[in-house]
Structure 1
Amino acid sequence: MATAMASALALVAASSAGAATLRGGMGGPAGYGNLVLQPNDDNFSAVQNSPFQINFFGYSGRSFFVNNNGNISFGAGISSFTPVPFNGHAEAPLIAPFWADVDTRCSGCGAVYLGAQSPNSFTVTWNNVGYYSANSSKLNNFQMTLAGATNPGDFDIEFRYNRLEWTTGDASGGFAGLGGTPAQAGFDAGDGTHFYSLPGSFSSTGALNFTNIKNASGGESGVFKFSIRNGAVLADGTSPATPLLPSNITNGNGGPGFGFQFQVQQNQRVFVDPIVASGYDFEVAAGGPNILSALFPDLGDADGYTIFLLSDLVHPYATHVGAGGNPFLVDFASIGGVSGFRIAGIDPALGLDPDNANAFVTGLTFDVIGQTTVNLTQTPIRFDTNGSAVPEPASWGMLLFGFAGIGGLLRRRRHAQAPA
C-alpha cells in the first residue's frame, strides 16, 4: 500500500511549519494547483473529474466534489459544517481528512486548492484555512491525495497534516476554535455499512494530535494511508482502517476468544480488530516475541483504561490511559516487552452488544528483528449488564456467529466517541 503510493508520487517540500510535509510543486499561486473554491464558508466546488476510475464501496465513476469543510464527496456536494459521527449513512459517499467548519473569508486565511503531482493522481489542499466565523486566529494546513492503482477502480488515499491549531467552528459550539463538536476524519461510504473515523475524532485534543501520529510504520508523523481494492478497504493490518480479522476462535480463561496469525517486522505496528466487552487479554503464544507497545483507540471513555500485566493482575501497570490528555500508547519496551497484558475498565455501555458490536482497533508492536510469525490470542472479559460476569449463551452464540460471518469483509462499526 505505502509502496504503491510512494512510487506514484514524489514529495516536494511545500511547508515546514508542522509535522508532515505537504505535497507541493503543482503550480498555481501557492504551489498546490489551481484555486478550486473562492473565499467562502460552506460552499462546494463544481463537479471535478478524476484522472482515474474510482470504485468506492458501490460508487463507481470519475466525478467528485471538493467541499470547503475539509472533505470530498461523490455524487453530490456537501455543505454540512458540523461533523456527525460516521455510521454508514452519510448524505453522499465522502472522504474527509478534517471535517469541520472551515471558513476562508477571513483576512489572513488561505484557500482550498486542487492540483496533481502525477497524471494518475489528484491532491486537495486546505492551505492555512480559518474557522467560522471568518476567524484567522488559528489556522489549519492539511491535504488529501488520491492516486490510482494498477487495477481499474483501485486507488490509494493519503491524509497529510502539516499544522492543526483549531478543531471547531463557532456555530458548532466551539470557543476560540476548540471544544463543542470537534473535527472528524476518515470516511463514510453512505451504504449503511462501511465507515471509519481516525482515533481522536470528536475530541479537540485528539484531532489536534493528528499531526503527531500515523498509521503506517516508518515515514513522517501526521501521515495516514489507506488502500481501496475492489471497492473496499484492504484489510492488511497496516492501519486502524484495515485491521486484521481473526483467523480462528480460541478458548481461554473459561471462555471463547479470537486468534490471529500474521508476520511482522521490526518496529512494524499491526492493527487487529477484536470485539469489545469490558476489557480483554492479549497474549502471545509460548516462544513468540514480546509485545513492545499497544496503541488504543479513543472511544470517549472519560476515566480511560487500566492496563495490567498478565503476570500481575493485582497491581496496575498503567491507569487512566487516554483520560485527561494522557496518551493512548502504552509502552512495555522499558521492561523488555511482555508476553501478554490485560486492558480493563472499558465502559460496558461502549462494549459487548451482540446486535451491534463495537470496534476496538488496537495497534501492537513486537520485539522482533526481521520478519517473524506471531500467534496472538485475544480473550474478551465478559460483562453482563444484569450483573452477572458471563453473558447468556445465546448472546455469545450471536456474537461469534456475527464475528465469524464477516470473513474478509471489513465492516467498521460506529465508534462511540463523545464530543470534547
Structure 2
Amino acid sequence: MRRAVACLAGAIALMGGVAHAQVTGVVTHTSGKTQFQPGADPDDTGIAIFQGEQLNLMAGGNAFGSAGSFTSTSDISDQVVEFQNGNIAGGALAHLTSRTVVDISFTNDGDTAVIPTLHSTITPAGMGFFAARECLNVITGCTAGATYPGDFHDFQDFTTNDPAGRLAGASFTFRITGGDEVVYELKGNIALLYDAASNSNVIVSDMNAAQAALAGFRPVADDGSQKEFGFVWDATDIEVAFPKGSLLLPGESSTLTYETIVESYSYADCFKLQTGSCLVAYSSFGDPIGRGGGIKPSLLKVASNESSSFQVDQFDFAYPTFSKGVLTFKPVSASAVPEPDSWALMIVGFGALGAAFRRQRRWMVPRIL
C-alpha cells in the first residue's frame, strides 16, 4: 500500500512559490516482516507482514524464548517528511526486517536540459549485538554491574536453530534509485557465527564501505570484547549525481526513491540455568538508544517504567525541492537526544515485550503510532 501525499497544486501551495513547483509529488511507505517460533497451530508460521506509513510492533517474551520490536516511519506531517527505521531481536528465533521508502517525483520546468543531482543526508545510525542477562521479559529484567554474565562463546552449543550456524547479526542497506537505476547504494552487515572447524564462535563483518563513506564511523565496544560488538556513525551529507544518460529536458519528469532496509536476528537460545544470558541484536537508521547509538550491557538496569520501549530517533526531512537540476532532501531537525541515564529505560523496555506477547494470531497486529 502506498499513499500519495502531495500533488502539483498541493506542492505549490505548501512551498509557497514557483521555484518549488518542480517537485510534483511525494509518496511514502513503510513495511516490516517479523518471524518468531511458530505455535502449535499448523496454520501459524510465526511470520507476519506489515505495511503502512507508521509502524510500531513489540512481540515475544521469556515464556516463548524470543522477542523482537521494530519502529519504522516514513510519513508526511506538518510540512516535513518524518523518518525513522530500527529493529531489535533476541532469543531462540527472532528475525526482523523493516523498510522505509520515500518516492519523490519532480519536473524540469526550466528552459534548459539538466542532469539531476541529489543533495541529501544519511542519518545517524547504529547496529550491533550483545550478550546480556536474560531480559526478554520485564519479570526478570536486566541488571547492571561489573559481574555481568554472558560471553559470545557461551552460545556455541545452540546452533541448531539455523543451518548456517548464525547466532546473531544485523545488517543495513541504504539505497537511492533515480528513475529505474540505482544511483547510490551502501550496505553493511555483522554476524556472530559458530565455526565447526574450530569449535568456536567467530565475529564476521563487512563494513569497509560503510567505514569509508560515513562520518564518525566507530565501534561501540572495546577491541576484542566478548560481550558486545557493533558500530555507529554520525549524520553524513551526500551528493549523488544521476548517470549522464539521465538528461532531463525542459518539461520532462523523473522520480527518485530514498530507501532504507534494516535487519536484526537472533537464533541462539537463552541460557536459563547457567549464565542466564541472551543474545540481542539491533539495527537502525535514526540513532538507537540515545546519541551515539551505543547499547552497552553496563548501562542496562531493571526497568522501572514498563511502558518504556526500544526507541529510534525520528528525523524531520524538509519537504524536497528541485531547482536548477538539484534535488534537495535534507533533515531540518532531530528528535530530542536522550541523556545517558535514560538509555537504560529505553532498552530494558524491550523486556516489556513479554506483556504484549500472546500466542494467538492477534499477536501480529501492529500498534500504529
Shorter-normalised TM-score: what interval?
under 0.3
Higher strand proportion: 2
Higher helix proportion: 2
TM-score by length of 1: 0.24
